[in-house]
Amino acid sequence: MLSIIEYTVTAIVCLISAIIIQRIFIKERKEGSGENTIKGIMWFGLAILVWGLGAVLNLILVFGFGWDPSNKIIIYLGVLVSLTNSLFILLSLPSIEHNKRRGIVVRLVQKFSTKDFVGVYFGVLSMIAFVFLATSINNIEISNSFIWLIDIPISVVVAFSLLYELNKAFSTRKMRFMYLPTLVLFVLIIIAVTHRIIPQDRAIQLVDQEFWSIAGSITAISFKFLFILLFSILLYSWKFLSEKEQQQGLADKLATENLKFKKKLEQQELANESHLDTIKSMKNELIVLREAAKIELSDRQKEVLGNLAYYGTNKSYPEIAELMNISNDGFQTHIHQIKKLLNISGKGGKEQLIEYAKKNNLLQYSSIKDNA
């Protein structure tokens, strides 16, 4: 009766959970979640589904066909279901994200492709299982606990790996309060394994048979419940944190864009200031030019500048004065007055006068160019 209750509860819970997880899997795949997450949900769902299907199969054989739960065929099927479930859990472990160092089992899983890992897993276990089957199928002296030895090492490895990865994940998410449920899950798995491996005839020497059976059924159901619960919490805590990280990332991106915009604005302001300086400089030059345009030179002064522009630096002031048939003093007086009008002083005055004459087209007033 206890076996039927255990199988029924396990089948209902696991199959419903598998359907829900399958819907989550479809939703996450449509939303374009990370490949690692999608695979993790898939393997997690398959692990739960295998538990559910195994329980249904046991119900059919025990309740439908009236087989004894201790029948070796049922035990073999139980071992197969447990090994398959362990495989899917192992494949789901890499999807448990955290920033700590990965456990050795996860690192081993990640070294292989999924296809290769499944091949190695079932290849090795098939050889071991063949030896167990060959020695136990027709040997009534070999107990069912001995058959479960095929699965026990794998279950223990899975339990330790699961404990490690879950604790690291909850630590990363700052959910240390989940350490206790994780530890309880580990203890329940170990109890379930112990219940399988210890022969019942020896166990009842220490405890009541009914208590031993009830403890086994409750433990088997409880650790499945807790396993589903912890994985679900982990999944949704990851999703919540992922969305939070995305929002934070968006905020950081906006802040970066805002900073870039401010820098660009500052550069534009500096460029505008530079343009303003250029405009001011041009205005000043224009003012100078306008002032220069206002300068009224006499015809004689224009003639002096025209002759000066014509000869340039090739002739001295006295030579130009002689060509103009005026005295050197008179020529120098004109030069002095012109410099005063043009605000020219210091060295290089002659060159400045020549440049001014050329810029203002005073060469046309030269009176001696035809005689040069």
Tens-digit pLDDT profile for residues 59-78: 888 888 888 777 778 878 88
**Domains and their CATH numbers in the chain:** 2-257 (1.20.1070), 299-371 (1.10.10)
How far apart are alpha carbons 14 and 47 in whole angstroms?
9
Please check the confidence at residue 366 and state whether its pLDDT lies above 80: yes
**Nearest in space to 49 (alpha carbons), one of 218, 260, 179, 228:** 228
Task: Tokens for 323, please give them.
Answer: 């060509």
* Per-residue confidence (pLDDT) for residue 145, from 0 to 100: 59
Contact 366, 310 (CB under 8 A): yes
Q: How confident is the model at residue 372 (pLDDT cuts 50, 70, 90)?
A: very low
Q: pLDDT for 16-72, tens place per residue? A: 888 887 887 888 788 777 777 788 888 888 988 988 898 898 888 888 888 877 777
CA angle 43, 185, 125 (to 5 degrees): 50
Q: Give the containing element (helix H, strand E) for 149.
A: none
pLDDT in tens, 252-285: 778 888 888 888 888 887 777 777 778 887 877 7
DSSP calls for 69-137: TT-HHHHHHHHHHHHHHHHHHHHHGGGS--SSPPPHHHHHHHHS-HHHHHHHHHHHHHHHHHHHHHHHT
Among 85, 83, 207, 89, which Cα is nearest to 149's? 83
Residue 68 in 3-state DSSP? coil
Structure tokens at 102: 């990965």
Angstrom CA distances, 266 to 57, 203, 259, 271, stand at 74, 82, 11, 8
pLDDT digits (tens, 9 = 90+) for 68-116: 777 778 878 888 888 888 899 889 888 877 778 888 988 988 888 889 9
- The tens digit of pLDDT for each residue in 172-227 reads 777 777 677 777 777 777 777 666 666 555 666 666 666 666 666 677 667 676 66
**How many residues make up the chain in this entry?**
372
Task: Identify whether the C-beta of residue 140 lies closer than 8 Å to the C-beta of residue 171.
Answer: no
Q: How confident is the model at residue 315 (pLDDT cuts 50, 70, 90)?
A: confident
How many other C-beta atoms can be found within 10 angstroms of the C-beta atom of residue 303? 19
- pTM for the full predicted model: 0.57
Top pLDDT among 245 and 88 is at: 88
